[in-house]
Structure 1
Amino acid sequence: MTPIPKTETARSATQAKPDTPSAQPPLSMTKPAMPIASPPLSLKLPLLMLTLGLLGLSACAPVPTLKPGASLLPPEQLGLKQAKGELQPFGADAAKSWWTRFKDPQLDALLARALAQSPSLAQVRARVERASALVENALASDKPLVGAGMDATYQRYPEHSLYPPPIAGSLRTMATVQAGISYDWDFFGRHEAELNAALGQARAAEAESEAAQLMLAAQLTRSYLSLARVLAQKDLLAQQLSQREQSLALVRQRVAAGLDTSLEQRTAESPLPELRRQAWVLDEQAALLRQQLASLSAQSAEQLGTLKPELPKPLSLQAASNEGQSLGLDLLGRRPDVVAARWRVEASTQQLALARSQFYPNLNLSAFAGFSSIGLDQLLKAGSLQFGFGPSLRLPLFDTGRLRAQFKGSAAELDASVAAYNAAVLEAVREASGQLSSLQSLQRQQQEQEALLGNARASRDLVAQRFNAGLGSKLALLNAQGSVLQQERQSLELRGQTLEAQVGLIRALGGGWQDAATAQ
């Protein structure tokens, strides 16, 4: 700190040598010298503090130089392009309650219960509330702090103290009633960085809440559709088992009549154990899916014992109907997990700015006013009034080791946030591309399976015509019906896989969610 220069005051009166008579004026002409008044002490202190403050603003601890950190992946590197009519599940008509398009009241009721009572979502909502409280705390940091207090102490004043008799050696009450105000003057953006960091964390928490709701809705919907597929498979399997038992009965009659051998009977018996095993597997899958649905919707599995959903038709998704359509840049604004990671990067950036501002001086202004007296009877009298005002300046000159460590830690946290964002973007692109490819492949498989099912039904109809005309056997008709049931089971499996892939694609594309800040 540069010392404050002192100014010398000039005197108006001249001084002559005492041995020079002519230099001494007559007594009648002598006038007293008028000294220049110096500033009172009440003005010197604020001027001194102001000067020290201005000098302190120019003094700061050296900020360490950081090596180049991580950078965000450019969207073009991932194949994301700004194109007209970007890929969306339902085109422009997107809604967060996408599961209502299945038009299943049971599914809607389960999801409403799950979104309202899920413990995992309750934890996420609590984190959102905590982040909102941090924003309020950051807003309060930029406002004056006003307080008031009162204290009273009954004590004996010693004789060898600052207080003269009769106070010295007596028992008296020291009381103070005082109000004060202080304000932290933010010259270097410390409060602004703290507020922006808190806002980034709050928006990240809100986006993570949306991501958790989307994940829960997708998991419950896929489990519900899987249960519907399993129950439909059980119905077809029961028909297939009944058809095989009828065929076995006919073969046994033919063997008893000497028309067939035991080889044909063994051939007719062999599919039955496999079909019964498949029935047990489907029963196990149905029980596990009901338990999963009960866990996701926060209820017991016994309450869902009578739940028998029906497999709906696949949705009409615009995203899967356009062959060769690529992912667009809007994917980064419609995936809540990616948006959350982006807000974490913003919050870490502001935390780094906050850590940088700690290297600069901090100026605080405070004032107080109140009453203080020895003796309660004198407390509220005019002579007990006290007040004051003064600035305080903090210079980080001997705390640079801790500040450097905090600054480097904030920089490392920013690099970690950038890496997490890049990983989230890569996962989002991989997941969306994979779900889109799977759904388009399943749609092509369904087309071929429909052809197979049509051929099996046509063959069954021809065999039925021959049987009705007396040209074919009942065993041939049962075998043709069994082929139709097998193809129907395969078609049902592809239909269920298509529905689950559609739910996966909807989730991968954000489920109709849009970041409000990105939309603006």
Structure 2
Amino acid sequence: MITANLAKARGTRLLSLLALSIALSACAVGPDYKRPEINTPAQFKQVAGWKAAVPSDALERGAWWELYGDAELNDLVGRLNVSNQNLAAAEAQYRQARALVRGARAAFYPSLSTNAGVTRSGQGGGQNVVTTSDVISSGGSRSTITKNYDLSLNASWELDIWGKLRRSLESSKAGFEASAGDLAAAKLSYQSELAQSYLQLRVLDDQQRLLDATVDAYARSLKLTENQYRAGIVPKSDVSQARTQLKSTEAQAIDLKWQRAQLEHAIAVLVGVSPAELSIAPREQLPQLPQIPVALPSQLLERRPDIAAAERRVISANADIGIAEAAWYPDLTISASGGYRGSSFADWIELPNRFWSIGPSLAMTLFDGGARSAEVERTEAVYDQTVAQYRQSVLDGFREVEDYLVQLRVMEQEAQVQQQAVESARESLRLIQNQYKAGTVDFNSVVTVQATALNNERTALTLLGNRLTASVQLIAALGGGWTVDQLVPPADQDDKLD
């Protein structure tokens, strides 16, 4: 009866201890996270004339590169998403962060371990050696040699009274989500790089066609000049000028080939293959310049993966302060062990050889020379650093969007004026060629107008390439089709802890 009462009393005390621990664990030391204040403008400064984003816009779908209406670009981006080696490295870092979350969660549960072994020990000064427990007398000395067999099961559970473990999990989760943001930002960056290289390659194709057509026109002009020279209508210097102009333009056409090859090589590496394994055939149709819906500045915080990752690092740094402050409080651990211990293998695992122990323990550092204070100070400084970096990321995001908005708007106006210049140059070229055929102007006048026309045509194509590149950069600055909801993909929802 007495034994039963003692066991009941111990059980009551243990339950009381657990209840107290649970009550205390309702709160955690350290500051709770609050998003740092950001001065967000009501709208972008350069947004005049741009379409506002609505939920049905194409940019919301995620596959933003489809806005360019180019099937080959879509295929290349799909290959990049699967085979790019830098993305593979970023994805491996993401999985490392996910494993850290699982490790932090495991600290909430008891740990179990088992041990089985045999030990042999001796005491005394005798020289005789025996293999079983015995006492030997030799020359007045005694030697005791014993052998013990042990089999035990040990359990340990650290109660999260002050919230240290929960802050650790909070920090790991924030680091995991920051890693997910880094992965998304890297993917968006490489997608943007590929799209820019591909669009520039297509613009070079159009420039190549322009130069090839110009070379053909200059070849006809040279033939006409040679015929006029043989007829005594024009001097030989006109023939030399026509040939110089033809060869110079041929050299410009050849020069484009290495530029195109380099872009093709860059695309090959982005999709994860060697340059020898990828060839992109020239074609006549240029990708379309898309209409890009522009979100509000406040939405940029939810659409930019790099900004979201920067904020998650602030959350992690905030939780680290709680971990550092928890070091000032004692750790409560409940330990239990039990098993069998005997000196004979034959009757090792029998009831008389059984042992067990259970009980709580408190551990607390009384003096550490200021190490804990220094650690709290360090974590607070790290938090301030990550807040500043987060705010800078937001400011950089606002600046990038403003830059590309004004760049696209101004270049659109420039393109309209440049197109007028192209049409005027074409008309001037047509008139001057007719005058030369009629013998009213010299060939030097024709060469000047031809060079002006070609330069204007190439400038118009270069401007189109710049507009296409700026459109990609604007989409990337707006976060592509990404949203903050994608920080934890569906496959990883089990990593969340409510």
Supply the distance in 1 between the matched residues of 2:258 and 2:190 (Cα, whole angstroms).
23
8 Å contact kept, 2:177–2:487: no
Deviation at 1:195, TM superposition (A): 0.4
Equivalent position amino acid for 2:166 in 1: E
Equivalent position amino acid for 1:92 in 2: D
Secondary structure of 1:433's aligned partner: helix
Secondary structure of 1:352's aligned partner: helix
8 Å contact kept, 2:203–2:286: no
Partner of 1:95: 61
Secondary structure of 2:147's aligned partner: strand
Partner of 1:137: 103
Structure 2 vs 1, CA of residues 225 and 507 (structure 1 numbering), >3 Å: closer, same or farther? Answer: same
Structure 2 vs 1, CA of residues 158 and 387 (structure 1 numbering), >3 Å: closer, same or farther? Answer: farther
Secondary structure of 2:346's aligned partner: helix
8 Å contact kept, 1:224–1:309: no
Task: Report how many residues are paired.
Answer: 457
Gaps of 5+ in 1: 1-38, 321-325
8 Å contact kept, 1:86–1:328: no
8 Å contact kept, 1:371–1:379: yes
Structure 2 vs 1, CA of residues 518 and 220 (structure 1 numbering), >3 Å: closer, same or farther? Answer: closer
Supply the distance in 2 between the matched residues of 1:304 and 1:472 (Cα, whole angstroms).
53
Supply the distance in 2 between the matched residues of 1:385 and 1:196 (Cα, whole angstroms).
42
* Matched ranges for 1:101-140 at <5 A: 101-140=67-106
Supply the distance in 1 between the matched residues of 2:75 and 2:367 (Cα, whole angstroms).
63
Identity %: 26
Supply the distance in 1 between the matched residues of 2:434 and 2:225 (Cα, whole angstroms).
22
Deviation at 1:250, TM superposition (A): 2.4
Residue 374 (1) aligns with residue 339 (2): no
Match of 1:217 among 177, 191, 194: 191
Secondary structure of 2:293's aligned partner: helix
8 Å contact kept, 2:41–2:298: no
State the TM-score, normalizing by the size of structure 2.
0.79
Partner of 2:38: 74
State the TM-score, normalizing by the size of structure 1.
0.76
Residue 257 (1) aligns with residue 236 (2): no
Q: Which one is further off, 457-466 or 392-401?
A: 457-466
Supply the distance in 2 between the matched residues of 1:166 and 1:157 (Cα, whole angstroms).
10
Supply the distance in 1 between the matched residues of 2:247 and 2:265 (Cα, whole angstroms).
27
Equivalent position amino acid for 2:209 in 1: D
Deviation at 1:128, TM superposition (A): 0.7
Structure 2 vs 1, CA of residues 261 and 460 (structure 1 numbering), >3 Å: closer, same or farther? Answer: closer
Match of 1:192 among 163, 166, 170: 166
Q: CA RMSD in A?
A: 4.2
Supply the distance in 2 between the matched residues of 1:262 and 1:187 (Cα, whole angstroms).
99
8 Å contact kept, 2:51–2:292: no
Structure 2 vs 1, CA of residues 446 and 215 (structure 1 numbering), >3 Å: closer, same or farther? Answer: same
Per-residue Cα deviation, 1:392-415 (whole angstroms, up to 9, x for no partner)? 111121225222232222222212
Deviation at 1:416, TM superposition (A): 2.1
Deviation at 1:518, TM superposition (A): 8.8
Supply the distance in 2 between the matched residues of 1:117 and 1:295 (Cα, whole angstroms).
10
Partner of 1:272: 246
Supply the distance in 1 between the matched residues of 2:467 and 2:485 (Cα, whole angstroms).
31
Residue 428 (1) aligns with residue 397 (2): yes
Deviation at 1:488, TM superposition (A): 3.7
Structure 2 vs 1, CA of residues 368 and 439 (structure 1 numbering), >3 Å: closer, same or farther? Answer: same
Match of 1:506 among 457, 461, 475: 475
Partner of 2:380: 411
Equivalent position amino acid for 1:136 in 2: R
Deviation at 1:459, TM superposition (A): 5.9
* Matched ranges for 1:37-52 at <5 A: none
Structure 2 vs 1, CA of residues 269 and 471 (structure 1 numbering), >3 Å: closer, same or farther? Answer: closer
* Matched ranges for 1:337-486 at <5 A: 337-456=306-425, 486=455
Per-residue Cα deviation, 1:291-350 (whole angstroms, up to 9, x for no partner)? 211221221222234533555343332437xxxxx8420011101111111101111111
Q: Which one is further off, 219-228 or 485-494?
A: 485-494
Structure 2 vs 1, CA of residues 86 and 265 (structure 1 numbering), >3 Å: closer, same or farther? Answer: closer
8 Å contact kept, 2:199–2:468: yes
Supply the distance in 1 between the matched residues of 2:55 and 2:157 (Cα, whole angstroms).
53
Per-residue Cα deviation, 1:185-237 (whole angstroms, up to 9, x for no partner)? 11111011000000000000001000011011110111111111112211210
Structure 2 vs 1, CA of residues 366 and 309 (structure 1 numbering), >3 Å: closer, same or farther? Answer: farther
8 Å contact kept, 1:363–1:394: yes
Structure 2 vs 1, CA of residues 301 and 474 (structure 1 numbering), >3 Å: closer, same or farther? Answer: farther
Secondary structure of 1:150's aligned partner: strand
Per-residue Cα deviation, 1:444-493 (whole angstroms, up to 9, x for no partner)? 1222233333445556777899999x999998999988766554433322
